[in-house]
Amino acid sequence: MSKQPIYLDYNATTPVDEQVLEEMLPYFTSKFGNASSVQHTFGWDAEEAIDISREKVAKSIGAKPSEIIFTSGATEAINLALFGSYNEGEKNHIITSKTEHKAVLDTCEELEKRGAKITYLKVDRNGIIDLNELKASISDQTLLVSIMSANNETGVLQPMDEIGEICKERNILLFSDATQALGKTPLNLEEANIDMAAFSAHKMYGPKGVGALYIGKQSNLQPQAFGGGHEKGLRSGTQNVPGIVGFGKACEVANNLIENEIERLSQLRDWLEKELLQLGSTTINGEKANRLSHVANVSFENVEGNKLMRALKGLAVSQGSACNSSVIEPSHVLKAMGLNDRLAYASLRISLGRQTTEEEVRKAVQIIRGSVEQLRMQLQ
């Protein structure tokens, strides 16, 4: 039987925390009620569990429980926020960035077909937008700005406080894909003047198939699914009670661990990067930006990218977003940061997590260094 690979792809997904699973299990069996069954105790128990989870999620982002709408994940939340904000015949301009997740970019592409005007802000070498370009892009027709809090490929954190101030001054809605930020960096959406934000439980040790949309002052959001009026009429469909319970517990657990995990993982990540840089002709993408503590995106010159992943036997890492992994093309994020196709291909996203040990990181460095050295020799 083959040995389990070292898992360093926590940005793609995370294992469900044991405390989360324990909290969820009764809602598959003894507490199986439908939260919409308001005539009996099974429904009441399910409704109460959802209310408690809504409070836990809200607490983790500095929001009110009434501002949380549960969805099937971040992609649905993003679609609800962007499509729900757009009304043909009214303001039709949306500003976003070239390094957004495909869930945002593909939604914006569809909105363009419906008449929306989309501005895609450039980023610098470290993946940060230019705040002056953002200001200059705003017009009387600007409806919404959509900027992700933390990039899924590089871990780069955008200056959301400053972006929030700009949007507040111009009375423009600010939406943020905060999927990778939740549970990994402190969040207070109200203080940051973020009006809407999307989240997904499976990125932070909760179950797959559940997420949320935070809605602050925005009250004119139009539903995109109909049939029952669940979640304040904004997301019809029977609520995923076990998933929602798991999401709430995952937020609670993350809140208790976040400070220690940031310190522990940043030390492991920094050591890993230092060791890989000793290879020479190696770049840490976004190195000079403020980043999530557990993510390293590393490019290796003089390496054939199509051979790199195959060479990393015993190691589970990625070359970009898990949601885009079926498409064999260089990362749009790295290309927007100025990397050419060849170097973007020869890049690895390494994301550490709660289960990552120092021994695993040391072993990973050995595997990567050995593989890169061997691939470079083949090109000589």
Q: Which residues are catalytic?
A: 323
Distance CA 20, CA 49 (A): 13
Question: Are the C-beta atoms of residues 233 and 223 closer than 8 Å to each other?
Answer: yes
CA torsion, ordered 341, 347, 351, 355, to nearest 10 deg: 140
| Residue 64 contacts residue 256 (beta carbons within 8 Å) | no
If one counts every other C-beta atom within 10 angstroms of the C-beta of residue 30, the result is: 10
In one letter, which amino acid is 339? L
Residue given tokens 């959509």 in the structure block:
146
Per-residue tokens: 87: 């009304």
Phi-psi region for residue 171, left (φ > 0), alpha (ψ -120 to 50) or beta?
left
Task: End-to-end CA distance of the chain: give it in Å, rounded.
Answer: 36
For the record, the structure tokens of 81 come out as 């926020």
- Here the tokens at position 328 are 């064999």
Q: How many residues can be counted in the chain?
A: 380
Q: How many other C-beta atoms lie within 10 A of the C-beta of residue 332?
A: 20
Instruction: Strands of the chain (E only): list them.
Output: 6-7, 68-71, 93-97, 117-121, 142-146, 173-177, 196-200, 211-215, 282-284, 295-300, 315-316, 347-351
- The Cα–Cα gap between 68 and 213 comes to 6
